[in-house]
């Protein structure tokens, strides 16, 4: 039998972006640090904060798969007391890297690295060993071409082929050009000239982002806070600096969905500048990056048949993705805890980190879950020698934030920022509050069946008897396309021959084929 395959020389019809892989790597960084002579010796570590700052990713082809390497820097802030019991801190840093193999050849790769845990051990008065456990979420996307599966040999063949087009939803995603921001300001020490900066912290918060033509507008603020002390007295000074930036985003349009995230990459503070010792001067450098998304429609052949020849067809199911949510939002976390150490008389500072963050999706509701590790640094009550020591207590604050979200099979990506946290105490309880600023994007997957191959049997031409009248009695579940395909005719001919008001068989008792 002479059969002609319609699978060769297929023109491109649509490009779909879909999730290629979603993996999580855990890796540890361990390093020994020797403190310089100008830094006070360590007697007891009160808290160690670690922040992962991603730097680069390197993708190479390994044949059927892709090798991914990435690296970055872990910055530490170690808060401790020296031999005299004074509060001190020192910044440290170490490098991290990771490696994995991705299936296929992804076109876009996102890597989100966060700190799961950090442990600092004192091995000598000027020597620290810090072990950090990192978690890297790797989400990759691939652009695949869906090709037209019908390629008739001639225009004459084309006349006898009926196509049924199917709509495919896909998401177009593009990264926003990263931008660095540097800000300089000062704190007023209110005449406390003898106070020196001990510990500083900065957080960049993105509150709003919106797409414009060729750019993305970002609003937010940078919070900077610093503890100053002379050993007997501490004050905490803080300042919030507004941020408004237009980020370059080639191809963006006002209807695009946008999400952005910001981070502080460096902070320097000095209490002497231009002979002004009544102020505390600081420089902070931040990075802003993000993505903008757009849902697009494509049409490919979902089914086909020839009205002249017998046609053999096969089908395949593909996964399509669309973005259902992309935004920056906020929510508050508040909790009260019974004090673990009744010797704490006053709170000096509270340091908070986020860990164990995850998402759950059920019944159209997306839930963000995790916990805040809040370390309260305070001063104890005076002992018999009228001495007060610095002590620290750790509390875990679970959080849950629910939002509506459409889709059946979803994948979410969340990055967190947290405003500087407040703590107070009432009788025997600590009250801790924080403002969370997650940056969220959610993708929904939908399986779609489309035509995979078509085979025309050119020697199997249908013989139609013009004297024969065929009557068909449609059932409620019958579809006009399926009826036309079964009897090797066209939808249009059935509608015209039977004077049907539409291309529907609803309430139609019989039709002449």
Residue 141, strand partner residues: 19, 108
Binned at pLDDT 50, 70 and 90, residue 199 comes out as: confident
**Looking at per-residue confidence, does 68 or 507 come out higher?**
68
Q: Closest Cα partner for 252 from 367, 152, 174, 354? A: 174
Residue 440: the pLDDT is: 95
What pLDDT, in 10s, does the model give residues 237-280?
899 999 999 999 999 999 999 999 999 999 998 876 556 667 88
Sequence ranges of the domains in the chain: 13-143+171-294+323-446, 464-513
Distance CA 228, CA 234 (A): 5
**Residue reference for tokens 């349009």:** 253
DSSP assignment of 433-502 equals EEEEEEEEEEEEEEEEEEEEEEEEEEEEE----TT---EE---TT--HHHHHHHTT--HHHHHHHHT-SS
Residue 272: the pLDDT is: 66
Residue 9: the pLDDT is: 38
Residue 194: the pLDDT is: 74
Highest mean pLDDT among 148-157, 376-385, 467-476: 467-476
User: What does the CA dihedral 184, 190, 191, 194 come to, rounded to 10 degrees?
Assistant: -70
Q: Is pLDDT above 60 for 423?
A: yes
**Looking at per-residue confidence, does 146 or 447 come out higher?**
447
Mean pLDDT across 274-293: 86
What pLDDT, in 10s, does the model give residues 63-101?
889 999 999 999 999 999 999 888 999 999 999 999 999
Q: Is pLDDT above 90 for 323?
A: yes
Contacts 24+ apart (CB under 8 A), 242-245: 243/181, 243/204, 243/218, 243/219, 243/286, 244/217, 244/218, 244/219, 245/179, 245/181, 245/217, 245/218, 245/288
The CATH architecture assigned to 464-513 reads: Roll (3.10)
Mean pLDDT across 454-473: 80
Q: For the chain, what is the mean pLDDT?
A: 88
Binned at pLDDT 50, 70 and 90, residue 460 comes out as: confident
Residues 6+ apart with CB under 8 A from 313: 303, 304, 305, 451, 452, 453, 454, 455
Binned at pLDDT 50, 70 and 90, residue 151 comes out as: low
Q: Closest Cα partner for 76 from 90, 64, 88? A: 90
Residue 10: the pLDDT is: 41
**Residue reference for tokens 């540097």:** 182
Q: Closest Cα partner for 334 from 427, 403, 378, 400? A: 400
Least confident of 183-197, 211-225, 401-415, 474-488: 183-197
Residues 6+ apart with CB under 8 A from 355: 114, 115, 116, 117, 370, 371, 373
Classified as helix, coil or strand, 194 is coil
Residue 8: the pLDDT is: 36
Residue 438: the pLDDT is: 95
Residue 165: the pLDDT is: 87
Residue 11: the pLDDT is: 43
Residue 427: the pLDDT is: 75
Residue 337: the pLDDT is: 84
Residue 279: the pLDDT is: 82
Q: Is pLDDT above 80 for 465?
A: no
Pair 158, 141: CB distance under 8 Å? no
Pair 450, 318: CB distance under 8 Å? yes
Distance CA 495, CA 190 (A): 87
What pLDDT, in 10s, does the model give residues 344-398?
778 888 888 998 788 999 888 999 999 999 998 888 877 655 677 888 888 899 9
């Amino acid at each position: 039998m002479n059969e002609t395959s319609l699978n060769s020389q297929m023109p491109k019809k649509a490009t779909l972006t879909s999730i290629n892989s979603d993996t999580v790597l855990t890796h540890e960084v361990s390093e020994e640090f020797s403190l310089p002579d100008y830094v006070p010796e360590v007697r007891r570590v009160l808290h160690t904060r670690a922040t992962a700052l991603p730097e680069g990713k390197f993708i190479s082809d390994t044949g059927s798969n892709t090798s991914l390497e990435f690296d970055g820097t872990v910055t530490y802030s170690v808060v401790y007391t020296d031999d005299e019991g004074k509060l001190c801190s020192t910044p440290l840093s170490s490098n991290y890297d990771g490696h994995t193999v991705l299936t296929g050849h992804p076109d876009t790769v996102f890597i989100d690295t966060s700190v799961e845990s950090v442990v600092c051990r004192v091995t000598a008065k000027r020597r620290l060993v810090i072990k950090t456990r990192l978690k890297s979420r790797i989400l990759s996307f691939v652009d695949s071409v869906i090709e037209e599966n019908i390629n008739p040999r001639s225009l004459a063949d084309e006349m006898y082929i009926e196509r049924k087009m199917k709509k495919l939803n896909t998401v177009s995603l593009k990264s926003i050009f990263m931008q660095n921001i540097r800000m300089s300001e000062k704190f007023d020490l209110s005449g406390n000239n003898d106070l020196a900066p001990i510990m500083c912290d900065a957080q960049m918060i993105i509150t709003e982002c919106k797409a414009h033509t060729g750019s993305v507008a970002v609003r937010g603020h940078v919070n900077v806070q610093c503890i100053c002390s002379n050993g007997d007295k501490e004050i905490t000074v803080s300042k919030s600096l507004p941020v408004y930036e237009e980020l370059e985003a080639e191809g963006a349009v006002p209807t695009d969905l946008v999400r952005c995230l910001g981070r502080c990459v460096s902070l320097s503070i000095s209490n002497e500048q231009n002979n002004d010792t009544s102020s505390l001067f600081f420089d902070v450098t931040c990075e802003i990056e993000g993505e903008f998304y757009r849902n697009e429609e494509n049409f490919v052949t979902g089914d086909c048949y020839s009205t002249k020849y017998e046609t053999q067809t096969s089908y395949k199911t593909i996964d399509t993705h669309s973005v259902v949510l992309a935004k920056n939002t906020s929510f508050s976390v508040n909790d009260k805890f019974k004090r673990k150490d009744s010797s704490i008389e006053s709170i000096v500072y509270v340091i908070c980190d986020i860990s164990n963050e995850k998402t759950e999706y059920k019944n159209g509701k997306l839930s963000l879950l995790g916990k805040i590790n809040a370390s309260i640094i305070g001063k104890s009550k005076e002992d018999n020698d009228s001495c007060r020591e610095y002590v620290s207590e750790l509390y875990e604050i679970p959080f849950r934030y629910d939002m509506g979200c459409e889709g059946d099979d979803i994948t979410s990506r969340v990055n967190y920022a947290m405003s500087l946290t407040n703590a107070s105490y009432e009788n025997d309880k600590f009250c801790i509050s924080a403002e969370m600023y997650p940056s969220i994007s959610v993708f929904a997957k939908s399986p779609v069946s489309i035509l995979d191959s078509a085979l025309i049997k050119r020697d199997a031409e249908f013989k139609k008897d013009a004297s024969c009248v065929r009557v068909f009695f449609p059932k409620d579940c019958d579809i006009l396309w399926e009826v036309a395909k079964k009897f090797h005719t066209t939808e249009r001919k059935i509608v015209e021959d039977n004077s049907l008001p539409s291309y529907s068989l609803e309430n139609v008792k019989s039709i002449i084929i």
